[in-house]
Amino acid sequence: MQEASDDELVAAVARGDGQACAVLMQRHLGRIVALARRMMGNQADAEEVAQEVFLRVWTNAEKWEPGRAQFGTWLHRVAANLCLDRLRRQRNTVDIDEMPDLVSGDPAPDQRLEADELAARVEAALQQLPERQRAAIALSHYQGLSNIETAEILEVSVEAVESLLSRGRRQLRTLLATEKDGLLRSRETSA
């Protein structure tokens, strides 16, 4: 079962094979949760999105058309759309102080603290971007997808993805530079 292609596994899921669904989840769950966490800003919402994505795999497997798209691309599209829907619903209730647990590979405590602080600042800045820019950056940068794949998932042109990425990166630089200036000023006045 592990050697089967995604298309073969989806066909098995359509026949009610729970083991095939488990193999698909094993292959794709980590990336779907990572995308959702980047877009939603917290692990709990990301896990709910991932659960809903795989529930859709289970309930809609018989509709899958092999060769029309790659299964992984379709999963990313479903996850991105679910995240965008949730973000639109909670647009006025987002709590930026609720930050996800960030993991750093740095062994030294001071380096780990600096890396965690930087990651938290980048994550907070990412959460301030408009949803479509955030989705494009999460798919392209964090998920490592090409602009073509990102365009397919977001259902826009490649040029639109490039524009979203350009505007998103520019806005992130501005947000992070503004925050850095504020931190430097606050350190100068407290010294």
Q: For residue range 24-83, what is the model confidence (pLDDT) as tens digits?
A: 999 999 999 999 999 998 999 999 999 999 999 899 888 888 888 888 898 999 999 999
Q: What CATH number should be reported for the domain holding residue 21?
A: 1.20.140.160
Question: Tens of pLDDT along 158-182?
Answer: 999 999 999 999 999 998 887 665 5
Question: Quick check: is 146 in a domain?
Answer: yes
Nearest to 99 by CA among 120, 117, 113: 120
Q: What pLDDT sits at residue 117?
A: 83
Contacts of 25 (CB under 8 A, 6+ apart): 54
In a domain, 22, yes or no: yes
Provide the domain count of the chain.
1
Using a CB cutoff of 8 Å and minimum separation of 24, what contacts does 51-57 make?
52/82, 53/78, 53/79, 53/82, 54/21, 54/24, 54/25, 54/29, 57/10, 57/13, 57/21, 57/24
Residue 126 — left, alpha, or beta (φ > 0 → left; ψ -120 to 50 → alpha)?
Answer: alpha
Half-sphere exposure (CA, 13 Å, Cβ side) for 124?
16
Q: Quote the pTM value.
A: 0.64
Q: Over the chain, what is the mean pLDDT?
A: 84
pLDDT of 94 reads 44
122 is in which domain, residue-wise? Answer: 6-190
Average pLDDT over residues 121-148: 91
Residue 1 belongs to a domain: no
Residue 111 included in any domain: yes
* pLDDT exceeds 60 at position 96: no
Q: At 98, phi and psi to the nearest 5?
A: -85, 90
Rounded to 5°, angle at Cα 131 from 125 and 136? 85
